[in-house]
């Protein structure tokens, strides 16, 4: 359900009320009854019934019914639209509970609504976000964020790292592992050997060391090693052209070196239509591509498009995984 003080509850109920998801997936929300009832009110969906369940086998999966595993962790005095310790604690509880259900094989996939990193910090969690929480809980040895959209697919070599620290967080092994993970994931999902483009870090991909040396010392050698393994990969290529190359169909996915390098072109081309997929985990997890929207929380105007897309992608990938 995401952070209960944000738009997560609202986009969840709107998504499940959408005709787009009928016959695509059977959905159950892991969250809080009080927050969902408030969300139904602001979303003007009073006819939807909440079916409280203790175990997944109790679901109804009926039109007009929202099946809910109620963790009952949202107090009556929670302030909507504000960062809070209790909301951060609640959001983490939903993630961990859903992850455990997936690990136990009770659900096929999880699609997450947004959480707030400041709220997590107030709650005392040292994690950066969903990806890190899930990686710790599943004990995944390697993982990465992949973004799927109608326009381009993007994977990140580093995730939530300050821009000033990106360079020192890059090394040959990390980039090679990301390339191999992209290859393994897309080969399974696309049913073919994927074409992978690797972005440089510096302007013009470093100009052969004249404008930065990461391409020569780190990225280029990782790409060369991947080629020796038989992977269809090119790079490092200039960041200001590689995404256009992917958009016109020259690559199936781009490996970006840092968060905004990959997500700015992605969201420019496919805002509210892109989906975050955590790859490398033993479970399938997708997520919305936006934040908690505290400025519009409780107003009934949140757009559920990305939540709908996250559920659709989760259902499609779960089918491919079986």
Cα separation of 292 and 255, whole Å? 26
DSSP string, 215-264: IIIIIHHHHHHHHHTT--EEEEE-HHHHHHHHHTTS-SEEEESSHHHHHH
> CA-based Rg of the chain, rounded to a whole angstrom?
20
Same domain membership, residue 297 and residue 275: no
Same domain membership, residue 129 and residue 15: yes
pLDDT of residue 285: 96
**Among the residues of the chain, which ranges form H helices?**
8-17, 33-42, 85-103, 117-122, 130-138, 172-190, 214, 220-228, 239-247, 259-270, 305-321
131 three-state secondary structure? helix
Same domain membership, residue 147 and residue 266: yes
pLDDT, tens digit (0-9, with 9 covering 90-100), for 15-58: 999 989 988 999 999 999 999 999 999 999 988 999 999 999 99
pLDDT of residue 124: 87
Same domain membership, residue 108 and residue 6: yes
pLDDT, tens digit (0-9, with 9 covering 90-100), for 215-238: 999 999 999 999 999 999 999 999
Q: pLDDT 10s digit of each residue in the chain, 322 long? A: 999 999 999 999 999 999 899 889 999 999 999 999 999 999 999 889 999 999 999 998 898 999 999 999 999 999 999 999 999 999 999 999 999 999 999 999 999 999 999 999 999 887 668 888 898 999 998 888 899 999 999 999 998 889 999 999 999 999 999 999 999 999 988 889 999 999 999 999 999 999 999 999 999 999 999 999 999 999 999 999 999 999 999 999 999 999 999 999 999 999 878 899 999 999 999 999 889 999 999 999 999 999 999 999 999 999 886 5
Cα separation of 252 and 196, whole Å? 6
Same domain membership, residue 173 and residue 133: no
Contact yes or no for 280/138 (Cβ under 8 A):
no
Same domain membership, residue 121 and residue 1: yes
Cα separation of 141 and 171, whole Å? 17
- 144 membership: H or E segment, kind and range: strand 144-148
Same domain membership, residue 275 and residue 175: yes
pLDDT of residue 322: 53
pLDDT of residue 127: 62
Cα separation of 273 and 259, whole Å? 18
Same domain membership, residue 318 and residue 247: no
Same domain membership, residue 217 and residue 110: no
**In sequence order, what are the beta bridge partners of 144?**
279
Number of domains within the chain: 2
Cα separation of 146 and 261, whole Å? 13
Three-state SS letters, 282-311: CCCEEECCCCCCCCCCCCCCCCCHHHHHHH
pLDDT of residue 321: 64
Same domain membership, residue 294 and residue 252: no
Tell me how long the chain is: 322
pLDDT of residue 78: 95
Q: What is the CATH number of the domain that holds 97?
A: 3.40.718.10
Q: Which of 253, 292, 321, 4 is nearest to 313 (CA)?
A: 321
pLDDT of residue 22: 84
Cα separation of 198 and 34, whole Å? 46
pLDDT of residue 138: 95
Same domain membership, residue 319 and residue 236: no
Range of the domain at 162: 142-280
Same domain membership, residue 306 and residue 237: no
pLDDT, tens digit (0-9, with 9 covering 90-100), for 58-68: 998 898 999 99
């Amino acid at each position: 359900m995401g952070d209960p003080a944000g738009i997560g509850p609202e986009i969840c109920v709107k998504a499940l009320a959408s005709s787009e998801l009928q016959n695509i997936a059977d959905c159950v929300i892991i969250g809080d009854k009080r927050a969902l009832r408030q969300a139904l009110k602001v979303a003007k969906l009073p006819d939807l019934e909440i079916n409280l369940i203790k175990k997944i086998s109790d679901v109804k999966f009926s039109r007009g019914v929202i099946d809910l595993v109620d963790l009952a962790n949202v107090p009556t005095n929670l302030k909507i639209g504000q960062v809070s310790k209790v909301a951060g604690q609640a959001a983490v509880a939903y993630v961990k509970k859903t992850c455990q259900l997936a690990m136990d094989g009770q659900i096929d996939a999880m699609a997450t609504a947004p959480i707030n990193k400041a709220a997590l910090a107030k709650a005392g969690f040292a994690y950066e976000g969903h990806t890190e929480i899930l990686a710790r809980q599943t004990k995944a040895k390697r993982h990465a964020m992949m973004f799927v959209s109608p326009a381009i697919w993007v994977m990140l070599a580093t995730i939530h790292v300050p821009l000033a620290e990106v360079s020192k967080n890059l090394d040959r092994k990390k980039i090679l592992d990301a390339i191999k993970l992209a290859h393994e994931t897309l080969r399974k999902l696309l049913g073919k050997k994927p074409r992978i483009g690797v972005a440089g870090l510096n302007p013009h991909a470093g100009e052969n060391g004249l404008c930065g040396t990461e391409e020569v010392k780190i990225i280029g050698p990782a790409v060369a090693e991947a080629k020796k393994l038989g992977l269809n990969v090119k790079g490092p290529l200039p960041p200001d052209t590689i995404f256009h190359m992917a958009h016109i169909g020259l690559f199936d996915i781009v490996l970006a070196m840092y968060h905004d390098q990959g997500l700015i072109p992605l969201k420019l081309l496919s805002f509210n239509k892109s989906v975050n997929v955590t790859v490398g985990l033993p479970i399938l997890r997708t997520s919305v591509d936006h934040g908690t929207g505290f400025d519009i929380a409780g107003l009934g105007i949140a757009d559920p498009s990305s939540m709908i897309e996250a559920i659709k992608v989760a259902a499609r990938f779960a089918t491919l995984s079986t």
